[in-house]
Amino acid sequence: MHIGSYIGAVSQWKKLQETGECLFFIADLHALTVPQNPKEFPSQVMQTAVEMIAAGLDPEKSIIFVQSEVKEHTELYWLLSTLTPLGELERMTQYKNKSKQFKENINAGLLNYPVLQAADILLYQIDSVPVGEDQKQHLELTRTLAKKFNQKYGETFKIPDALTLKIGAKIMALNDPKKKMSKSQPESCLFLFDEPEVIKKKIMSAVTDTGKAIKYDPDKKPGISNLLAIYSLVGQKPISELEKKFKNKGYGDFKKSLAELLILKFEPFRLKKKELLSREVYIKEILERGRKKAQFIAQATMQDVRKKMGLI
């Protein structure tokens, strides 16, 4: 989990679980759009579960499970794909970008990814989805498919809304602030569970801009603006306050302060992850309990869907 994922999603999830009924899953089916080692993949799934819980998701307040263990995801995915125009998928920005990035592995899963995502969402009759800026287009397709299904077969799915952050929902790469931070390019990422010395090294070497002014201006100063957004969201301080604080200081002082903040804020997460990695049985119990609860909801939705489509 990198800091962009935490700021754009997990930080919101932690607040939502305090006020609403939430479901979170490890998207192992989505991960298969890029090559995975079958021998290592199960442990990676477990590590993702550990990181989600270490970062603040509470299994006593939320449903946490593994996507592939609820078979209704793939069933609804296929049924929704029969309603999805090919042109809608081909125009998806993320598909275009991934196709360029993974030229040797342009599989149908990359193209159909948003349909499975729509199934993930609609299966649970939810009201809203916390998403990063890069996923808003996919959520719009989800809304379109839900409306299309409802019009054709009768009221079935809720139309979900997006929940996004105004600033920092899209954290940019440390080595290229004009590109989104992505774990498929580790050199661009600051990972949530990086060791203190690694955090410091990455922040101090992050790309900034010409000039010395520490000012938020994504167009003219994308590098320092990205770091300001991170500082603001992690430190929970307005960007205007940070601009005043570092008005007469250079990039070096700013970066040093940011690194110290991140090390302090993320230390509890690192310690929690270390503890959970030694409690595999406990993690498996959480995931199994989550699977049962999620499947109960999913089965009810699919029974309705099958009946309306004439499959019962």
The CA-based angle 271-282-25, given to 5 degrees, is: 85
Q: Which of 274, 121, 140 is nearest to 195 (CA)?
A: 274
What is residue 23's three-state secondary structure? strand
Rounded CA-CA distance 98/105 in Å is: 9
Query: Do the bridges between strand 161-163 and strand 22-26 make them parallel or antiparallel, or are there none, so unpaired?
Result: unpaired
Q: Are 223 and 211 in contact (CB under 8 A)?
A: no
Cα-based distances in Å from 105 to 89, 98, 101, 111? 17, 9, 9, 12
Q: What is the pLDDT of residue 92?
A: 86
According to the model, what pLDDT value does residue 101 have? Answer: 73
The label of the residue with tokens 């030694």 reads 278
pLDDT at 187: 78
98 is catalytic: yes
What pLDDT does 182 receive?
Answer: 83
Confidence (pTM): 0.84
Told to judge if 220 belongs to the known catalytic residues of this protein, a careful annotator would answer no
Rounded CA gap, 170 and 176, in Å? 13
Residue pointed to by tokens 């100063």: 221
Tell me the one-letter amino acid at 144. T
Catalytic residue among 152, 178, 179, 183: 183
Question: Residue 122 has what pLDDT?
Answer: 98
Rounded to the nearest 10 degrees, what angle do helices 251-276 and 222-235 cross at? 50
Catalytic, 183? Answer yes
What pLDDT shows up at residue 185?
77
pLDDT of residue 169: 63
Which ranges of 154-250 would DSSP assign to H, the alpha helix?
196-204, 222-235, 239-245
Cα–Cα distance measured from residue 299 to residue 290, given in angstroms and rounded to the nearest whole number: 14
Q: Which residue is it, tokens 């900034």?
A: 208
- Across the chain, which has 312 residues, the per-10-residue mean pLDDT values are 85 88 96 93 96 96 98 98 92 79 80 95 94 82 97 97 73 91 82 94 93 91 94 93 94 96 96 95 98 98 98 87
